[in-house]
Structure 1
Amino acid sequence: MSASQPMMLELENQRNYVAGSGNGVQFAVCLDQGGQKTMEDCHSAVTALDEPFSCWSFFAVYDGHEGNAVSQWSAVQLPRFFLASHEMSQLYKEHLPASERDGLIRRGLLKGFLQMDEELRGLPEMQADGGSGPRGGSTASCALITPEWIYLVNCGDSRGVLVSRRTVVLASRDHKPSLPAERQRIERAGFCVQRQRLDGRLAMSRSLGDFRYKAVATLDALQQAVSPEPDIFRWERTVQDEFILLASDGIWDVMETEALCEDVGQWLEHTNDLQSVCARAIDEAVMRDSRDNATVAMIAFPASVRMSPEKLQMETALDKIIELVVTDVVHWLENKSDEDDVHVPDLQELLCCTRTIMDENGVSVPNNSGIGGKRHLIERTWNRMRSERLSVRCAMPSWCLSLMSRIKPRLAGRPPLPRTIDADALAAYVQARDADADRQRGG
């Protein structure tokens, strides 16, 4: 590679992020492939459903297995099947008491799951190679938000939780084959539970798809070994509702519901960036040895804001400092030639670089996870630079301590980072940094 040819600093194990807002809520989704060869998780995020339900929102996480065909199809189709049910068409035709409206919504949700699962059975992509029968399946953990109520709807071993007044007030139940009622249905359908799995293979007892376990002609859909029936939980909305978490079992297999919700509440005291919060939840799962696909969706209500204006200002300034440091490091690396023998870092190595530079300048990250809590910001900055300017791929060997010794001289001419992070200090630093860049261009 010549010195004039830029290098592409490519992250290993990149994550996908989605974020948005509408109908009085904000949401973010983070999807991580983990240690798996393929990504089988999918999600739905619809802040406004079709008329006459435009003031309703729908979110879901789907954890596919034996491929992603079911999870991908379900993510697109489930809201449509729910809204197309006869029950939903009756909802606004006349004034109904709350109990009847709730009953229609529950029956509409159930019918949506059952009808979608039946249509799914006939799709060509559901037929296994070699004609051995339908293959693949997916869990579904959903949140339906209406002006009156919040519904958590769960089929499988993904999970949804609602936090209100800093307390978990609603949580779905995982459908595991070892549960007594689930085991009874499985055995009546002619299957067994081995090693806490259905037939020793399937980790959940309810799902969309998995038609090899739904083939007993004398049984209806709800009696099959694997049922598509969701559990439906309702909460009456209040102004104190804070956030909903929907996540696949790549999170819940290694983290407890209460512990994760408490962590999220603490993180919200230091940031309003929901994408960062979702990423940190996955980081926590990875540190607990989760190797599965992992997806976290967070839906936040106005009461979730816990940062004071002072903290928000400080955090915004700190984020800008980190962006500047990452930008400097990447600019330096991309201009090095082969003669410099530079080891291009992966994400973890870039975190180390950023932390070292900030530590040496006396800048601390005021939260309980240090620079690791800024992974999402660093990754986002890297990806933005990559998409805008860099084009040539490079190999990424493991961490080399000499990297910092090469970075330090390049950054030595920069003005020192402000030790007290606030808006005035940031403005002064940016002004000095720009002036330094002007002098270098003039020279």
Structure 2
Amino acid sequence: MNSGTEKSGSTVVCAFISPRNIYIANCAVSRALGDYEYKNLRDRGPCEQLVSPEPEIYVRDRDDEHDEFLVLACDGIWDVMNNEDLCNFIHSRLLLTDDLEAVTNQVIDTCLYKGSRDNMSIVLVTFPAAPKPNPEAQKKEAELEMAIERRIKEIVAEQEDKNEFDFLKLLQLLVDQEFPNLPPGGGLSAKQPFIEQVFREVCPSRADSVSLGYDFALI
């Protein structure tokens, strides 16, 4: 730092949950922690520099009857999902499982398949009103996967030269299909791991083409 060679910086978003309130501090702009080369104006205070480390602070009353969950995430998530999309997606996944690690992994995967190329991290905290696994939701998810698998097999069967058919072509054909009960906020991108699995089973000789799908966003 003294020699001027330390130029790194970062951001932060954090939350403190008390029995009655939720406190959120957001300093996620312009790498507000560090970046000392932008904080060297001697006639200005710490929060009056070109880049300020002063966070925005929000306070919300707890509502155990309605509060479902809290999400803290970085740009790689918000680049491809807005607040409503992410909340709807997480809500729908909590109806399938109470494994929070599995849910957050699905968020990361879905954002990757939606085309995010920025850093991705997420923290998910559930509250008493969070959705619980629901047999009806699980049934609809199973029906969705059966419909996707059936359509993939139909598409593969229609190909005259299966040796020239690859995973990217499959994704391009699936985009125009209508499937019931796609995850809200996630869409077909949320099912890409399942699509990959079925493709590998149906076209084992073309399994190496799955990596092509990472360059194609299933919006």
Same fold (TM over 0.5): yes
Tell me if the contact between 1:142 and 1:153 (Cα under 8 Å) persists in the aligned partners: yes
Alpha-carbon distance, 1:373 to partner: 6.7
What stretches of structure 2 of length at least 5 have no aligned partner? 143-166, 168-180, 184-189, 198-202, 208-219
Q: Which residue of 2 aligns with 1:272?
A: 98
For 1:311 and 1:256, the matched residues in 2 are separated by 27
Distance 1:373 1:229, change over 3 A: farther
Contact residue 155 and residue 228 of structure 1 kept, 8 A: yes
User: Counterpart in 2 of 1:136?
Assistant: 8
Select the residue among 291, 294, 298 that pairs with 2:117: 291
Counterpart for residue 372 of structure 1:
193
Matched, 1:208 2:49: no
CA offsets per residue over residues 69-128 of structure 1, 9 Å max, x none? Answer: xxxxxxxxxxxxxxxxxxxxxxxxxxxxxxxxxxxxxxxxxxxxxxxxxxxxxxxxxx38
Q: Percent identical across equivalent pairs?
A: 36
SS at match of 1:275: helix
Q: Report the Cα offset of residue 367 of structure 1.
A: 6.9
What is the alpha-carbon distance in structure 1 between the residues aligned to residue 59 and residue 11 of structure 2?
Answer: 20
Change (3 A) 1:133 1:370: closer
**1:402 aligned residue:** 205
Counterpart residue number, 1:234: 59
Q: Deviations over 1:301-355 (max 9, x none)?
A: 12113323x469x79xx9xxxxxxxxxxxxxxxxxxxxxxxxxxxxx9xxxxxxx
| Inter-CA distance 253–224: structure 2 relative to 1 (3 Å threshold) | same
Larger Rg: 1
State the partner residue of 1:329.
none
Alignment partner, residue 84 of structure 2: 258
> Is the alpha carbon distance of 1:301 and 1:226 closer, same or farther for their aligned partners in structure 2, counting shifts above 3 Å?
same
User: What is the CA–CA distance in structure 2 between the aligned matches of 1:149 and 1:306, rounded to whole Å?
Assistant: 23
Structure 2 CA distance for partners of 1:281 and 1:211, relative to 1, 3 Å: same
Q: Structure 1: give runs of 5+ residues left out of the alignment.
A: 1-126, 157-174, 176-203, 319-347, 349-365, 379-399, 405-443
TM-score, length basis structure 2: 0.62
Give me the whole-angstrom Cα distance separating, in 2, the residues matched to 1:371 and 1:219: 51
Shift of 1:370: 4.2
Contact 1:270-1:311 at 8 Å conserved across structures: no
> In the TM superposition, what is the alpha-carbon distance from 1:255 to its structure 2 partner?
1.7
Ranges of 4+ aligned residues in structure 1 off by more than 3 Å: 366-371
TM-score by length of 1: 0.32
Could you give the per-residue CA deviations for residues 24-55 of structure 1, whole angstroms, max 9, x where no partner exists? Answer: xxxxxxxxxxxxxxxxxxxxxxxxxxxxxxxx
- 1:353-432 alignment runs, 5 A limit: 368=183, 369-370=190-191, 372=193, 401-402=204-205
